[in-house]
Amino acid sequence: MRTGIIWFRNALRLNDNRMLIECLNSTNSEAILPLYILDKSELKLKNNDNRIKFLYESLIDLDVHFKAKFGSNLIILNGRCEEIFGKLLGNDLLDVSEIFTDYSNKPDDVENENSLKRILTKNASVNLHLISKVNSLINIEEVVNQENFKAPKTMKDMEKLFSNLFPKDESGFYSVDEPLDIPESSKSVPDNYSEIVKEYLFDIEKELSLFKRDSKSYFKGGESEALVRLERKVSSEEEYIRNFRKPRTISTNNLENPLEPETTGLSPYLSFGCLSTRLLWKETEKCYRNGDHAQPPESMHGQLMFREMFYILSRSVENWDSDTNNSMCKKIEWGAYDSNKMELWEKGETGFPYIDAMMRQLDATGWMHHLGRHAVSCFLTRGQLWQHWELGRDVFDKKLVDADWALNNGNWLWLAGVAPFSMPYFRLYSPCPDGKSSLNVEAKNAEFIRYWVPELKHFPSKYIFEPHLAPLPIQESANCVIGKDYPEPMVDRKVVAKENLAKFKESLAKLK
């Protein structure tokens, strides 16, 4: 029996999954092999526990639903792609005729894909199908290969691009494709596969059980969770979605729950493909159709258009993740790597409570509000510490549950002030915001700070964002003496900001 492999990568879901549909509908195979391949040692090197746990939960959820719908398990294998495909394709018993996977331009995925292509040169009868528009609204290859393609740098560029690709309907909505239903058809799974790959079979339940029970990780992985969150934060919150303006959302999370985002919190699900971006787009559109609504760039659709923009740029801009020969990055002379500065920033021990609370939240849960990300990245680079944006990018890449190569690099370029789409480099965020700051902090009770920086639990709100300014008796009565119980600020924020702006200006002048 000819077998079609469904190679799940960045779309860990059944809904709106064209890769799944195309494999099940293909007439070139009678059986299917639904696969996920991971390399545990590499995973551990590149990600922290929150992200790995989220992945395992997502795979278990996919396995359960795949089995319920199609009668067979998801086959999870631990090993190198090249080796595993070598075994699968080298075995006549399996008779693999085709492989379906979701299109991706992430460097790791491209590397795995290339090793598979090398094997396929010796197996000319096996077709590899890279299915587009599984993790994006746009067919990225089609767009970047258009004759008159120009890299988008603004929301205006994106609106033009969308208007061409998705002509607006009579109500003014882009004609983005409808999400696809879960297929009804099914195919059997060959029963001899486990013999062929038995040394790679991965006991995911056992691996998941090894994670610490007391972990603060907040987001549980999986399509089931994604759909519940989509309903709770989007579909049933019409007014919230219609009025959603990203820069107005509060960065210090929900007042009742310091772990619950003020935004949708859907990014981890989009990043692993537990949720289709098309489904989120369409659920948002349903809300919009019922009345006035916000517009890009601030609106929810605007956020998803930024996502598409960075997917396009990450494919079309050479050296997207570097400051060398990257047309979207001015090469600024950043300071040398400073392990002390990096460690204090990463651990949340800078002596700036807002920065520390955000970095501790990142470490514990793998998530941080967009404006928090603005503040800590500005602080690390052009604001206070004058460290290279790539260093911060790497920390985010390892710790964010929603880490996404295209988006993470794009946003770090943006915040470091080095890209054409960056804000002006001299507009800095104060790391000590007050209630009027554009970082939108809840400053009255400052519960977010008290939760993440418990050393300051009893500090008066008046001083909590800049506690070293509190007179000593106040520090003592709050059981937190600065310099003893909580660090002094690691830099004089105003002095270094002035120096750094001068360095940035000087560095820019040298580029002319």
Ligand X SMILES: Cc1cc2nc3c(=O)[nH]c(=O)nc-3n(C[C@H](O)[C@H](O)[C@H](O)COP(=O)(O)OP(=O)(O)OC[C@H]3O[C@@H](n4cnc5c(N)ncnc54)[C@H](O)[C@@H]3O)c2cc1C
Does 430 count as an annotated binding residue?
no
**Minimum gap (Å) between residue 254 Cβ and ligand X:** 12
Q: With respect to ligand X, which residue has the nearer C-beta, 307 or 360?
A: 307
HSE value, Cβ hemisphere, 13 Å, CA-based, for 381: 29
The nearest distance, CB 462 to ligand X, in angstroms, is 29
* 125 three-state secondary structure: coil
**CA nearest neighbour of 194 among 290, 292, 262, 93:** 93
Using a 10 angstrom Cβ sphere, with 0-12 exposed, 13-18 middle and 19 or more buried, the burial of residue 158 is buried
Residues across the chain? 512
Distance CA 379, CA 416 (A): 9
Per CB under 6 A, contacts with ligand X among 411-450 are 411-412, 415
307 is in an annotated binding site: yes
219 annotated ligand-binding residue: no
Q: For the stretch 387-406, what's the b/e string if a residue is b when 16 or more beta carbons lie within 10 angstroms of its beta carbon?
A: bbbbbbbbbbbebbbbbbbb
Question: Contacts with ligand X in 211-250 (CB under 6 A)?
Answer: 246
Please, which residue, 63 or 283, has the CB nearer to ligand X?
283
CA atoms within 13 A on the CB side of 117: 9
The answer to the question of whether 404 is labelled as a binding residue is: yes
Task: Report helix angle 389-399 to 339-347, nearest 10.
Answer: 40
Is residue 372 part of an annotated ligand binding site?
A: no
318 annotated to a ligand binding site: no
Using CB under 6 A, which of the segments 206-214, 257-265, 326-334, 454-462 binds ligand X?
A: 257-265
Structure tokens at 240: 């919230």
Which 3-state string (H, E, C) describes 56-98? HHHHHHHHHHHHHHHCCCCEEEECCHHHHHHHHHCCCCCCEEE
Q: Is 306 annotated as a binding residue?
A: yes
Q: Where are the beta strands (DSSP E) in 378-425?
A: none
366 belongs to the binding site for ligand X (CB under 6 A): no
Residue 265 counted as an annotated binding residue: yes
Please, which of residues 375-414 interact with ligand X by CB under 6 A? 377, 396, 400, 402-404, 407-408, 411-412
Asked if residue 402 belongs to a known ligand binding site, the reply is yes
When asked if residue 135 is in the footprint of ligand X (CB under 6 A), the reply is no
Based on the shown chain and the rule CB under 6 A, indicate whether residue 370 belongs to the binding site for ligand X: yes
Indicate the DSSP class of residue 376: H
Please indicate if the annotation marks 121 as binding a ligand. Answer: no
CB 326 within 8 Å of CB 313: no
- Please tell me whether residue 265 binds ligand X under the rule CB under 6 A: yes
Measured from the CB atom, is 187 or 293 closer to ligand X?
A: 293
310 annotated ligand binder:
yes
Residue nearer to ligand X on the CB measure, 119 or 395: 395
Exactly one of 36, 306, 354, 486 binds ligand X (CB under 6 A); that residue is 306
DSSP for 174-226 reads: B-PPPPPPPP----B--TTHHHHHGGGB--HHHHHHTS-TT----PPPSHHHH
Given the rule CB under 6 A, which of 55-63, 266-274, 436-444, 456-464 is the region that contacts ligand X? 266-274
Q: Given candidates 315, 373, 388, 450, which one binds ligand X under the rule CB under 6 A?
A: 373
Select 3 or 303, whichever has its Cβ closest to ligand X. 303
In the complex, the smallest distance separating the C-beta of residue 453 from ligand X, rounded to whole angstroms, is: 21
- If binding is defined by CB under 6 A, does position 266 make contact with ligand X? yes
Amino acid at 494: K
Give the nearer residue to ligand X in terms of CB position, either 5 or 266.
266
Among 38, 304, 470, 490, binds ligand X (CB under 6 A): 304
Binding site for ligand X (CB under 6 A): 246, 261, 263-267, 270-271, 303-304, 306-307, 310, 369-370, 373-374, 377, 396, 400, 402-404, 407-408, 411-412, 415
**Can you say which residues are annotated as belonging to the binding site for FAD?**
263-267, 303-310, 402-404
